[in-house]
C-alpha cells in the first residue's frame, strides 16, 4: 500500500478554521519564547499562513516538532505529577485572560487610543501566558496523538493488543462540556413546556445570556436568540419521557465515566503509577477542553474591543485581526495603517524569539511552497485512533466550517480536519466522525464520547482521501475507515 509522504523540513503543526491571526501572534510568542520558561523548550522560528482572514496554518520545523513532542511525552510518562501541575496553572491563566478581557471590553468605548491599543497588546500577552502552561497537552498530543499512542504502548500488555477502545474509556474526561451543559438547560426548558408551563421566555433569555458565546470560537458568530429558539423548538417536539431520559443520561455521565475508568483499572490490574498516569492524561483532556472554552469566552468578549478599534480606524473587525499589536498601536496612535488588501486573502506572519514580522506576499508564497505535499493515491484505507468505539456505514461529508454544515444529512459520516464547538449541530446528526488530526484529548474525541458516536481521530489525510458523497465504512473500534463497495 502506498502511504503519503509527510516528511519535509517544515510541517503544519496546527490547522484551524475560524481562527484569528491575532490569536496566532499570542500562540507563537509562546512557542518561540514563552514556553521556554515553563517547559525548557521552544521553536527557533515559526510561520502562520492565513487564508481568507480566518483559516490559519501554524508551521514549525519538523525536526524541532518531533524532538519536542518526544521530550514532552517522555517527561509526562516519567513524572505525571510534574504534568499535573500544569493543569492548575493553565486554568488560572485562562481565567485571568477571560476576566481581563471582559473588563477591558466594558472600558473600550471610553478608552483613549493608546489605552485601546494596550488592550490589544494585553490580550496577546495573556494569550502567550495561558499557552505557556496550556501548550503541554497540545504538544504531547501532536503528531496524531503521540501521548495517547505512548500510553497505549505502556498499557497494551495489560489491556490487550489493539484494544484502543479500552484506552478511549480509560482516558475519557469526566467533566461535562459547555455545549452539553447548554443543551441540558434547553432540555429543562423543553421539559417545563411539555409539563404545561405557558411562558418560558425568561428561561430562554437566561440561557441565551449564559451560553451565547459557546460557538464563537475565535471570530464568531455567537449564538443568536433565533438559533437557540430553533434548537429549543426541536427539543419541544420530543415526548416528555424522551427529554427526561436525555437529561438523566447527560447528568449521570460524569460519574459513570469515572466509575468505568476505576473499574477498568481494577480489571486490568493497574498499579498506582499506571493509575496516576491514567488520571493525569484524562485530566489533560478535561482541562484542555475547559481551557479552550474559557478562551472562546474571552474572544467573545474581545469582540467589543475589536469593534471599537475597527470603528476608529475605519476598518472591518476582520481587518483589525490582521494587524500585529505593534501595527495596532501605530494605527491608533499615529494613524499609520498598513495595506491590508492583499492580507485579506493570504498573509504570512514570521515569528522569531517572540517577535512578529509580516512577510511580503512573495516571501509568504515561498514559505507556502516549502510545505510538504500529500499524496493519497493508492491509499486503500485510513488508519487512526479509536476515540469512541462502534461501527457505521454512511455517506461521507466534509465539514470544516459552520458554512459546510448544511451539506450534512442525518446518518452521514462527518469528515473534518478537526471538529470544533460551532459544528455541534452537524455532529449530532452524524453516524460517525473521522478527523485528520487529534488525540484522545481533542474536541472530536470528547464530544463523540458524550454523544456515543463512533469516532476515528488522527487519520492525517482523511479529508483529502475522501470526496463528498462517497459511501464509507467506519470501524472506530479498530481505528479504520474504508470506502464501501
The CATH number of whichever domain residue 414 belongs to comes to 3.50.30.10
Is 49 a domain residue? yes
Is 19 a domain residue? yes
Distance separating alpha carbons of residues 24 and 22, to the nearest angstrom: 5
- Do 125 and 185 share a domain, yes or no? no
**Domain termination residue (choose one: 345, 369, 393):** 369
76: left (phi over 0), alpha (psi -120 to 50) or beta: alpha
10 Å CB burial of residue 445 (0-12, 13-18, 19+) is: buried
Residue-range definition of the domain harbouring residue 410 = 381-483
pLDDT (tens digit, 0 to 9) for every residue of the chain, 485 residues total? 233 333 448 999 988 888 899 999 999 999 999 999 999 999 999 999 999 988 999 999 999 999 999 999 999 999 999 998 888 888 899 999 999 999 999 999 999 999 999 999 999 999 999 999 989 989 998 988 899 899 999 999 999 998 888 888 999 888 898 989 999 999 999 999 998 888 889 999 999 999 999 989 899 889 999 999 999 999 999 999 999 999 999 999 999 999 999 999 999 999 999 999 999 999 887 787 788 889 999 999 999 999 999 999 999 999 999 999 999 999 999 999 999 988 989 999 999 999 999 999 999 999 999 888 778 888 889 999 899 999 999 999 999 888 889 999 999 999 998 888 888 889 999 999 999 988 777 888 888 988 999 999 989 899 999 999 999 999 999 999 999 97
- Do 327 and 465 share a domain, yes or no? no
pLDDT at 302: 96
Distance separating alpha carbons of residues 97 and 115, to the nearest angstrom: 17
10 Å CB burial of residue 449 (0-12, 13-18, 19+) is: buried
Is 374 a domain residue? no
pLDDT at 15: 86
- Find cell 498573509 and name the residue: 347
- Do 27 and 144 share a domain, yes or no? yes
Q: Is residue 59 classed as helix, strand or coil in its secondary structure?
A: strand
Distance separating alpha carbons of residues 242 and 466, to the nearest angstrom: 36
**Closest C-alpha to 447, from 233, 227, 214:** 214
CB 379 within 8 A of CB 461: yes
- Do 410 and 469 share a domain, yes or no? yes
Is 265 a domain residue? no
**Domain termination residue (choose one: 235, 260, 285):** 260
Question: What is residue 31's DSSP assignment?
Answer: I
Cell numbers linked to 423: 459544528
- Do 150 and 289 share a domain, yes or no? yes
Is 443 a domain residue? yes
Is 311 a domain residue? yes
- Do 122 and 15 share a domain, yes or no? yes
- Do 64 and 137 share a domain, yes or no? yes
- Do 38 and 70 share a domain, yes or no? yes
Dihedral sign, CA of 66, 474, 386, 258?
Answer: positive
- Find cell 474504508 and name the residue: 482
pLDDT at 3: 35
- Do 252 and 330 share a domain, yes or no? no
pLDDT (tens digit, 9 = 90+) per residue, 374-400?
788 888 899 998 999 999 999 999 998
- Do 387 and 479 share a domain, yes or no? yes
Cell numbers linked to 67: 524532538
Dihedral sign, CA of 209, 214, 215, 221?
Answer: positive
**Closest C-alpha to 222, from 235, 233, 211, 206:** 211
Q: What is the domain count for the chain?
A: 3
- Do 62 and 147 share a domain, yes or no? yes
Within 270-429, residue ranges assigned H as helices are 272-313, 317-320, 325-329, 361-369, 424-427
- Do 80 and 197 share a domain, yes or no? no
Strands 391-398 and 10-16: unpaired
Which residues lie below 8 Å from residue 433, measured CB to CB, with a gap of 6+? Answer: 387, 413, 414, 416, 419, 427, 444, 448, 453, 454, 455, 456, 457
Strands 391-398 and 413-416: parallel
Is 422 a domain residue? yes
**Domain termination residue (choose one: 316, 340, 369):** 369
Amino acid at each position: 500500500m502506498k502511504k503519503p509522504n509527510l516528511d519535509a523540513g517544515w510541517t503544519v503543526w496546527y490547522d484551524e478554521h475560524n481562527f484569528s491571526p491575532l490569536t496566532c501572534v499570542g500562540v507563537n510568542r509562546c512557542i518561540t519564547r514563552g514556553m521556554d520558561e515553563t517547559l525548557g523548550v521552544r521553536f527557533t522560528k515559526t510561520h502562520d499562513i492565513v487564508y481568507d482572514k480566518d483559516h490559519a496554518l501554524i508551521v514549525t520545523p519538523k525536526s524541532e516538532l518531533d524532538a519536542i513532542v518526544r521530550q514532552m511525552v517522555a517527561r509526562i510518562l516519567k513524572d505525571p505529577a510534574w504534568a499535573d501541575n500544569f493543569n492548575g496553572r493553565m486554568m488560572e491563566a485562562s481565567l485571568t485572560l477571560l476576566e481581563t478581557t471582559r473588563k477591558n471590553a466594558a472600558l473600550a468605548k471610553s478608552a483613549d487610543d493608546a489605552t485601546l491599543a494596550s488592550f490589544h497588546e494585553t490580550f496577546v500577552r495573556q494569550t502567550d501566558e495561558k499557552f505557556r502552561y496550556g501548550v503541554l497537552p497540545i504538544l504531547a498530543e501532536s503528531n496524531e496523538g503521540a501521548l495517547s499512542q505512548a500510553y497505549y504502548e505502556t498499557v497494551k500488555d495489560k489491556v490487550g493488543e489493539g484494544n484502543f477502545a479500552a484506552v478511549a474509556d480509560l482516558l475519557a474526561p469526566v467533566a461535562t462540556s459547555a455545549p452539553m451543559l447548554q443543551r441540558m438547560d434547553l432540555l429543562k426548558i423543553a421539559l417545563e413546556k411539555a409539563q404545561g408551563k405557558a411562558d418560558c421566555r425568561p428561561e430562554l433569555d437566561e440561557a441565551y445570556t449564559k451560553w451565547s458565546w459557546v460557538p464563537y470560537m475565535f471570530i464568531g458568530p455567537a449564538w443568536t436568540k433565533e438559533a437557540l429558539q430553533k434548537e429549543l423548538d426541536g427539543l419541544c417536539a420530543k415526548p416528555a419521557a424522551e427529554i427526561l431520559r436525555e437529561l438523566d443520561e447527560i447528568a449521570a455521565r460524569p460519574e459513570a465515566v469515572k466509575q468505568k475508568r476505576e473499574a477498568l483499572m481494577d480489571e486490568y490490574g493497574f498499579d498506582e503509577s499506571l493509575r496516576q498516569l491514567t488520571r493525569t492524561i484524562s485530566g489533560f483532556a478535561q482541562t484542555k477542553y475547559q481551557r479552550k472554552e474559557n478562551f472562546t469566552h474571552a474572544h467573545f468578549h474581545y469582540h467589543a474591543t475589536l469593534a471599537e478599534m475597527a470603528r476608529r480606524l475605519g476598518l472591518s473587525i476582520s481587518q483589525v485581526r490582521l494587524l500585529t499589536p505593534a501595527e495596532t498601536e501605530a494605527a491608533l496612535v499615529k494613524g499609520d495603517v498598513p495595506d491590508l488588501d492583499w492580507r485579506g486573502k493570504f498573509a504570512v506572519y514570521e515569528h522569531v524569539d517572540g517577535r512578529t514580522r509580516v512577510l511580503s506576499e512573495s516571501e509568504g508564497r515561498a514559505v507556502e511552497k516549502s510545505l510538504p505535499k500529500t499524496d493519497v493515491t493508492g491509499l486503500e484505507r485510513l488508519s487512526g485512533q479509536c476515540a469512541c468505539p462502534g461501527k457505521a456505514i454512511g455517506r461521507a461529508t466534509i465539514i470544516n466550517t459552520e458554512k459546510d454544515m448544511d451539506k450534512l444529512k442525518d446518518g452521514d459520516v462527518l469528515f473534518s480536519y478537526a471538529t470544533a464547538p460551532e459544528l455541534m449541530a452537524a455532529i449530532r446528526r452524524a453516524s460517525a466522525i473521522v478527523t485528520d488530526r487529534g488525540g484522545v484529548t481533542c474536541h472530536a474525541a470528547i464530544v463523540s464520547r458524550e454523544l456515543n458516536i463512533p469516532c476515528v481521530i488522527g487519520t492525517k489525510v482523511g479529508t483529502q482521501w475522501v470526496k463528498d458523497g462517497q459511501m464509507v465504512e467506519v470501524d472506530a473500534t479498530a481505528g479504520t475507515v474504508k470506502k464501501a463497495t
